[in-house]
Structure 1
Amino acid sequence: MALITTYWGLDGIIVLTTLIITIYFYMTRKFNYWKKRNVFEIPPTPFLGNFSDCLLLKKSAGYLLKDIYDKAKGLPYIGFYVLDKPFLLIRDREIIKNILVKDFNYFVDRYGSPDPNDRLGYANLFFIKNPAWKMLRTKLTPVFTSGKLKQMFELMLECTKNLDTYLESLKAEGTRKEIDVKDLFAKFSTDIIGCTAYGLNVNSLINPNAEFRKYGKMIFDFGYIRGFEMLSMFFFPNIVRLAGFKAFAKESSIFLRKAFWETMTERMQSGIKRNDLIDVLIELKKTHSHHKFEGFKFDGDDLVAQAAVFFTGGYETSATTIAFTLYEMAVQPEIQDKLRKEILDALNKNDNKITYDMVLTLPYLDMVVSETLRMYPTLTFLDRVTTETYKIPNSDLVLEKGTPIYISMLGTHFDPEYFPNPHKYDPERFNEENKRNRPSCVYFPFGEGPHQCIGIRLGLLQTKLGIINVLSKYEVTPSERTLIPMVINPKATTTSPLNGCLCLNIQRINTNAS
């Protein structure tokens, strides 16, 4: 005789049905959370919430959040659900300003988080929680002063020589050669970061098997498993802890530890100072090695984490921006010609030399890069979490401590209220008059407020340097494999072309006739 009925099979059906109903009610118990607070919400699907396309890696999170932003037109915010958890997407720019700037102390931490035991992923400046974040930010900021950048620039110019050598090896005079510009400039940016931050000659452009490029590529190789791991870190950190997901692949972690400590040891033994990131981390180790600050240890993986995040963030952001800029130049040759003329005129006035001041005083180049970052920001959203109960100004809505808050960068960047005809690539959006007339907190490709990317100036500098070096000597045009229109990889957390490559034709031009 069975436990409930006279048949084991029927008992099994009853138990399974009861279990499914229990799980259903558990996973839907919060599905009126926003409605109870008089906040418009998107009707969620049981078990998945509003996140099914992202979980199946059919759509990137940034583009899903943009869809939610578009559905909330006319509303200051909108509620949605990730699995069973209520999230809030902010649409009103004044509230965005409050969150990112005015009331930053309530939103100082990101919601996304690696496993705290994964120190390479968790303890770096991007993810670490306050007050350790504030301490680290203060200690690392001096690496990126204008004076330091001028010193770095000479080293960056050495890297451009390797870029020139590689491009010349293509023998693209009088004929077009197809190249993957995304991969090429990932190598270029890897060399620059290695040189300026760590004092290493990485030589990715010369050596196709360079270790820094090999292991750096692994970090952003968005297959299904890697794509889900990265998605989880930004949207379900509890699953990350349970599953033991790592921010860096095992092989990359081993390599980064080895490269970092070898460099640190060599620098400490030689006594050489370069005033770079390594020197700052050495000083932190010497001064605080026997102390912990809010769980942060000034040694081991906690220090390696800073080197790792500057390496990965530094090369990927610039490489992506250069690649998408050249793509837009290829499909819009009139913009390419106008930019090239500005570059060549500046070079002619400067004895054909690229200098720090020259790079920073090319207005049309700045407009072009700004428009690329509008349409193709590397990270397409900002995430925060309330650290205390917070009442939204001029509203009855009170946010409980621990509420995930998201801001759609793509949403504001493609909002026709701020950027008319937003799908058109138009650098004139960023001329001086248009910038003056545009409200604040609607364009923030590097974030905004105290959490703004610490390396923004270095990133823009190496991006502009890469573009100058190509367009001053070469013309870029679409190849047979160029995706027109561009298709974004739905598995990638960051903005990346489908399949991770962006192919263009390149051909040497006669600069004397330009």
Structure 2
Amino acid sequence: MLLLLTAIGSVAVLWLFTKWQRTKKYWADRNVPYIPPHPLLGNLTFLLKQNPDPLWSSVRKRVSPSFTGAKLRAIHKHFVDKSRELVKRIKIEMESNKCVNLRMMFTDFTTDVVGLTAFGVRGDATLTGQSPLRDVTRGFMKFNYLRGLSWACIFFFPELVDVFGFSFFPKSATNFFTKLFKQVVKERGGYNVCIGQNKDFLDVLRSIKQDSDKNNQEMPENILIAQAAAMLQGGFDTTGSALTFCTYELAHSPHYQEIIYDELLQNKDKILNGNPDAEVFHEMKYLNAALKETLRKYMSMGWIDRVASTDYQIDENLTIKAGTPVYVNAGGMHYDPEYYPDPEKFDPDRFLPENEKNLTPFTYMPFGEGPRFCLGKRFGVQNATCALAYIILNYKIVAKPNSHLPREVEIEKKSLFFVPGEYLYVDFVPRDV
């Protein structure tokens, strides 16, 4: 018996050793640069698991019309109104505290914008820092090692998620948001009333539920709540962080800030006293270039994941098999000096129209590429450029003495997203407008 067990054990060890040798040399045999794998963890072995999601695809098709040009033009007035409130908030903060916590102020602002435009929920967080929805997003912004472990398991070891009850968002914030979501749906008459033309993202979700019920298709409410939470997360924190980084960079790059200010002066009366449309801000090349350069340096997520739909031959040694997940190191390309010389430098000139056309295709992907690019791209850009325009037209942004240079800013290590890991402050000096 002992001899048999020894033989079985030896065969198992030999099999594992042989398999390990093949696995270890997989990329080397195909002349592909690689990081040597760990014997137990490999190179994130979860990436070899296919994760088809037809439900996600179906919901995405229904949600896409929420971000058309016509829809964005209709809600642009909310971007303007909240941007004007943002200018007032800065005045209040500077007079009372002599400093402004950039990320908290900007996420107060973006929470209000997403709440109003996506869910019809009005809030005063831009002015006061407080609202029911802001309580939710403030919970979304809290990071600790347990939440970091949760996110790691969701993406790297999904089989452990249900075992330990991990979730993407903190439980308390999720419960509060669920309650708020159901309350707003109830105020609109639930899922069974005639919805008519979709006014906002919440109406789109109600329509999806209504159509699914009519066709006897399963559409649990928690799926809709998850979509709403994802919309909130993607809409408030990514734009809030981009505004934070852009403002901080401009404080340390007064030359570019003044160029943007001169651009804004050409439309001063329309912006300050009228109802400027999105095209006014879209035509300001340096304003948009500064935001694009910010998104190059501070991409919300440093990688893009895709699944090969068919076998794709790279060369005679390498073929990506259909169903294989592929992760693109977009953040690495954004910092590759071959594509962006002196990549640590904040240089909006890279994205001026005459220079942008010379960029190597697919080396700039802050919103992804292809049919699965970020649906909220235009929403976020339009919101951010509007806010920056009002701030720069009303205030000169000045770096605080002895503050960290942008390249020295600490990044949050326990977050999936690329967000500041420290409070960032600047001085806002009123301009003579």
C-alpha distance in 2 between matches for 1:481 and 1:315: 30
User: Which stretch shifts more, 479-488 or 250-259?
Assistant: 479-488
Aligned to 1:331: 252
1:145 to 62, 68, 76: 68
C-alpha distance in 2 between matches for 1:458 and 1:320: 15
- For the pair 1:341 / 2:262, whether they are aligned, the reply is yes
Look up the SS of the partner of 1:247 in the other structure: coil
Is the CA contact (8 Å cut-off) linking 1:359 and 1:465 kept in structure 2? yes
Aligned to 1:422: 343
Amino acid at match of 2:62: K
The structure whose RCO (Cα within 8 Å, separation 6+) is larger is 1
2:361 to 417, 440, 444: 440
Aligned to 2:140: 219
Deviations 1:224-283 (A, max 9, x none): 121222233333333334433211221122112111111112112697866111121222
Look up the SS of the partner of 1:336 in the other structure: helix
Look up the SS of the partner of 1:179 in the other structure: coil
Go from structure 1 to structure 2 and tell me whether the alpha carbon gap of 1:432 and 1:424 turns closer, same or farther (over 3 Å shift).
same
Equivalence map 1:312-461=2 (5 Å):
312-348=233-269, 352-356=273-277, 357-386=279-308, 390-461=311-382
Amino acid at match of 2:358: N
Go from structure 1 to structure 2 and tell me whether the alpha carbon gap of 1:151 and 1:391 turns closer, same or farther (over 3 Å shift).
closer
C-alpha distance in 2 between matches for 1:378 and 1:457: 15
C-alpha distance in 1 between matches for 2:216 and 2:321: 30
1:195 to 90, 106, 116: 116
Look up the SS of the partner of 1:453 in the other structure: coil
Equivalence map 1:292-303=2 (5 Å):
297-303=218-224
Identity of aligned residues (%): 29
Residue 28 of structure 1 deviates from its aligned partner by 5.1
C-alpha distance in 2 between matches for 1:265 and 1:353: 37
Residue 131 of structure 1 deviates from its aligned partner by 2.5
Go from structure 1 to structure 2 and tell me whether the alpha carbon gap of 1:351 and 1:156 turns closer, same or farther (over 3 Å shift).
closer
Is the CA contact (8 Å cut-off) linking 1:367 and 1:430 kept in structure 2? yes
Is the CA contact (8 Å cut-off) linking 2:108 and 2:134 kept in structure 1? yes
Aligned to 1:10: none
Uncovered stretches (5+) of structure 2, i.e. residues with no partner: 3-9
C-alpha distance in 2 between matches for 1:333 and 1:181: 18
Uncovered stretches (5+) of structure 1, i.e. residues with no partner: 5-17, 50-80, 88-110, 114-128
C-alpha distance in 2 between matches for 1:450 and 1:304: 24
Amino acid at match of 2:73: K
Equivalence map 1:280-291=2 (5 Å):
280-289=204-213, 291=215
Aligned to 1:495: 418
C-alpha distance in 1 between matches for 2:330 and 2:33: 20
Bigger helix share: 2
Amino acid at match of 2:213: S
Look up the SS of the partner of 1:33 in the other structure: coil
Is the CA contact (8 Å cut-off) linking 2:50 and 2:323 kept in structure 1? no
1:278 to 202, 224, 232: 202
TM-score (structure 2 length as normaliser) = 0.87
Is the CA contact (8 Å cut-off) linking 1:181 and 1:323 kept in structure 2? yes
Is the CA contact (8 Å cut-off) linking 1:379 and 1:493 kept in structure 2? yes
Deviations 1:424-458 (A, max 9, x none): 11001011121211221110100001000011111
Go from structure 1 to structure 2 and tell me whether the alpha carbon gap of 1:383 and 1:274 turns closer, same or farther (over 3 Å shift).
closer
Deviations 1:3-35 (A, max 9, x none): x9xxxxxxxxxxxxx9xx99x969957333323
C-alpha distance in 1 between matches for 2:47 and 2:117: 43
1:238 to 147, 159, 183: 159
TM-score (structure 1 length as normaliser) = 0.74
